[in-house]
Structures are given as C-alpha cells and as structure tokens.
Structure 1
C-alpha cells in the first residue's frame, strides 16, 4: 500500500483520539488538504498544527467506543518506523506540522504497541536530533518500564479514561480492566512525573 493511502487512513482514524478537546470540529483535521494534520489549541488559545496519526489500526481490543475495535471489518494497516518518521520529518521540515501526536491500535499486547511508538520517538530524538514537541498516547496495560521510556522521550503523554467508573468502563470493553490497565497506569505517570 502506498504511503499516502496509509497516511489518509491512519490520519483520519486518529481524529477520534482527542487532545485539548474543544469540541469535535472536522475543520481541525484539515490543513492544505494534507492528511494527518490536526490543529490543537494551546492554553492561550493559539492553534498549533500537529502531525496526528495512528501507528497502526490493528487492534485486539473490543472497545465499543473505538472505530478500530477488533470486531470492525476493514483493512488493517500500519506504518513501519521508517515510513512514519519519513512522513513526519517531511511535514516538519516543510512547516506543515510543528509537532507529533502519536497513538496506535493494539496489534498484540500493550507493550508491543508502545514499543513501536517509543522507538519512533527514540529515533527522532537521537538519530535525527529532533527537539520539537512529541505527545505519545499511553496504551492501557503498558508496563511501568515502557511508560518510563515514553516519558523520557516525549514532552507529553496521556491515557484515555473513557469512563468515570469501573462499571461504565466494563460496559464499553471486555478486554481492558479499568483499575489495572487504566488507573494504575495513570498513577505510574503521576509518580514518574514527580521525579
């Protein structure tokens, strides 16, 4: 599959993973007709174009709120590390994007998904000496060590809560545990942030 086709599919799928949410506005996801550009808002109200994309839309989870859940039937694709880095650097060097917001489906276990995202950030920082903004989505169930690695490379990390209660969360998915996979990870992030 061509890189541009992957970019359209995985960029469009990322729109459901919101950051600095001020209301779902389709216009926030378009910039010069380039797929994967999202205009995030800073606390001061400024718009910042981010390259916002999924690493993969493969997913073993059955989250009813997510377009990528395992029971939806559509073509599953993923970027290689090199493809994603190449597209991002092209966008960044041409001033289409000022930062990277990277999330992913869960093609295996949580650490497998996180490993790919962390490796993208690692290569950008160390091999390409990229010093700009990186936001990594923490996959529910990711290990402490993987979260620590992500936090050492990213400017920002986040976990989607999806529900205010364990009972509500259980209605949304049978493949994730609210207390263990989500709340425990949020506590780890809080602990690591204080270091």
Structure 2
C-alpha cells in the first residue's frame, strides 16, 4: 500500500483523538489528509496535521475503531515517513503544527519509542521548532514520558472514563489508577521540576455515553484533576457505535450532552466554579436544554448583585458576564461607578441575560419572575 493511502487511513482514524471542542470526527480531504483545526486562545483556527503512528492495537477498548478484536486492515508508518509527510505540509503552509497519537502495535514501550522518534527527527535532524502535541499512552514508562515532554509543546493522556468502574466497563486492559492517574502524577512532578517540559501543559479526553457514568461523576473527576494534578484542558467525545465492536448496538450519545459538558467544564476550569454549584437531576445529569450557568444562578441566594461592589468571583456567577467583561467591570469602577445598563453593554456584558441578577446603584434592573431566556 502506498504511503499516501496509508496516511489517509491513519489520519482518518486519528479523528477520534480530539484537539478542539468544536471540530469533532470529520474526515479530512483525500488529497491532503490529516488537516484538522484547533482553536487558539484568541479564537483563531489553527491547522494541525493529525495522524496515528499505527491503527494496530493490543487493547480491547469496547468502543474503539482500532480495538484488537475488530477485523480490518492494520497498517503502520515509520517515524521517518510521518516526519517527511508532516514537513511537506508544514513547509507548504498547510499546517502550523503536529498532533501525533497511536494505537499500540507490539507493546506500550515500543510504540512510545516510535512516537518519540518522530519528534526527535523533527527537532534534532530537521530543525523544526514549532508546535508538537504528543499522545502519552496509558501505562507509558516515566522515562518515555519525560522524553516526550522534552520534545513536545503539549502532551495528552486519554482518561476515556471518569472513574475506575467506568473504565472497567469499556476496557479490561487498562487500570485507572496505575495506568492513568499515576502517569498524571509523574507528569505533574516532572513539569514542576522543569517548567520547560511540555510548556503548553497536559490535556485529556473522555468518551461520553460508552459507559454508565453520570455527568456529575465526569465533572467531579475532571474538577479533581484540574485542582490536584495540573490538568490543562478536557475534551469530551460523544460515543458513536462502531460496527464490529462490542458496543456496536449501544445507543449513540446525544451531542447536546457533550455540548453541555463543555459549558460546565468551562465554568469549572476557567470560572473556578465548584461542582456543587452546578445543577444535576436526580440521576446526576445536566439539563440538555438550559445553560448550566443560568441554572446555577437560579439556585444561588447571592442575587441580585450590586455591580459596583461585587467581587470578581461573584461577577463571574452572573449569566451574561464573562471573564473579559468581569475584568473590565473591576478596572472601570476603580475610576467611575456604573449607573446604567448601556455602560455594561458597551464592555461586552450580555445585558438581557445579566439584568435579573444585578443591581446598579442599588436599583434592581429586572425582576427574575418576569425574565424570559
């Protein structure tokens, strides 16, 4: 099989490793396989070359297109082949960076060596100094993790599930505490000792709907990872059944569920909400219809807040006020007080949503019972 055809297959298989919350599971162009976009801090779309080393795998993950028992053609590219394909894309300005993941061909150590070899070729032999994101395989050795962090700007290790029981539901070849949590701890320790290692931090991914975990369990686990293990970002992949896998007859996950998880995750990771501020139903799931921040606000007794006195943390609890507008409120009111809604609107506050939850100079703007979303 020619190299381009192999690359097409391995690039399309890589679509399940997420690098953006908005661009999920889309096959790439047949003529230029592997171009996927992630979103930068300023909102711009950044093209990455995303590919697997191999679709061979010794794991039995019940949801996965590459699981060991599934019958399909298995292929692999060499580190040199991947490096050359990527450099062709990069030198022609098709992409701005590399996202490299892999199935497990012979064993974890052997596969990690090949991942590292790609990065080493690019950095040492070809003088490439731009963005590299490397996947850390669950169960990888501390030495291979350290070398990956030395070569990559960002690394990731997929949790797949939020709890030990949840992982046991979908994979028998991985141990949640030993293969995943322990690796996160190693990564955190290595990063603290040398901040130059993987300076863009570590991300993870969970498969939502492949097991019976609730949103409350997912967000509780992720919140703990942010606080205790230095996790930078989480991605949620909506389970979709794959023919030939153990879960081929399981119901597809509603993507609105993952959308709501992303909203709630932003509240936890960026706005520093505690999970007990979020509203779940009796089964531990978020509403699919209402904004998690709005529901959280309805169940707090701190409103209405006086805009000219509220703390930064309190302002972030107001629907319609984001990180940027909250900072602007704090900065502006040091010089002059706010006295009308138009002033808030001019700095980016979504006034329609914020009105029922705020006061300006002691005046409550809109009664909550007259407010319509």
Question: TM bucket by the smaller chain?
Answer: over 0.9
2-structure distance, mates of 1:174, 1:35? 32
Q: Secondary structure at the match of 2:110?
A: helix
Q: Which has the higher contact order (CA 8 A, sep 6+)?
A: 1
Deviation at 1:23, TM superposition (A): 5.3
1-structure distance, mates of 2:28, 2:141? 34
Going from structure 1 to structure 2, the CA distance change for 1:77 and 1:156 (only over 3 Å counts) comes to: same
- Alignment correspondent of 2:295: none
- Alignment correspondent of 2:149: 151
- Alignment correspondent of 2:49: 51
Going from structure 1 to structure 2, the CA distance change for 1:25 and 1:104 (only over 3 Å counts) comes to: closer
Q: Secondary structure at the match of 1:163?
A: coil
Deviation at 1:25, TM superposition (A): 5.5
- Alignment correspondent of 2:6: 6
- Alignment correspondent of 2:105: 107
- Alignment correspondent of 2:89: 91
Are 2:16 and 2:25, in contact at CA under 8 Å, matched by a contact in 1?
A: no
Q: Secondary structure at the match of 2:132?
A: strand
After superposition, the C-alpha distances for 1:74-114 in whole angstroms (9 at most, x for unaligned) are 10001011111110010000011110000000012211111
2-structure distance, mates of 1:42, 1:65? 30
1-structure distance, mates of 2:30, 2:14? 18
After superposition, the C-alpha distances for 1:92-137 in whole angstroms (9 at most, x for unaligned) are 0001111000000001221111100001101110010100100000
Deviation at 1:33, TM superposition (A): 4.5
After superposition, the C-alpha distances for 1:47-100 in whole angstroms (9 at most, x for unaligned) are 111000000001000011211000111100010111111100100000111100
2:18 is the alignment partner of 1:18: yes
Instruction: Give the structure-1-normalised TM-score.
Output: 0.95
1-structure distance, mates of 2:69, 2:126? 38
Unmatched runs of 5 consecutive residues or more in structure 2:
194-373
Q: Report 1:113-192 matches (<5 A).
A: 113-192=111-190
Going from structure 1 to structure 2, the CA distance change for 1:25 and 1:111 (only over 3 Å counts) comes to: closer
1-structure distance, mates of 2:142, 2:20? 25
Going from structure 1 to structure 2, the CA distance change for 1:9 and 1:165 (only over 3 Å counts) comes to: same
Are 1:20 and 1:42, in contact at CA under 8 Å, matched by a contact in 2?
A: no
Aligned with 1:78 (options 76, 81, 88): 76
Larger Rg: 2
Instruction: Give the structure-2-normalised TM-score.
Output: 0.50
Going from structure 1 to structure 2, the CA distance change for 1:86 and 1:164 (only over 3 Å counts) comes to: same
Runs of 4+ off more than 6 Å: none
1-structure distance, mates of 2:190, 2:42? 27
Deviation at 1:31, TM superposition (A): 5.7
Are 2:60 and 2:173, in contact at CA under 8 Å, matched by a contact in 1?
A: yes
Are 2:14 and 2:50, in contact at CA under 8 Å, matched by a contact in 1?
A: yes
2-structure distance, mates of 1:175, 1:30? 30
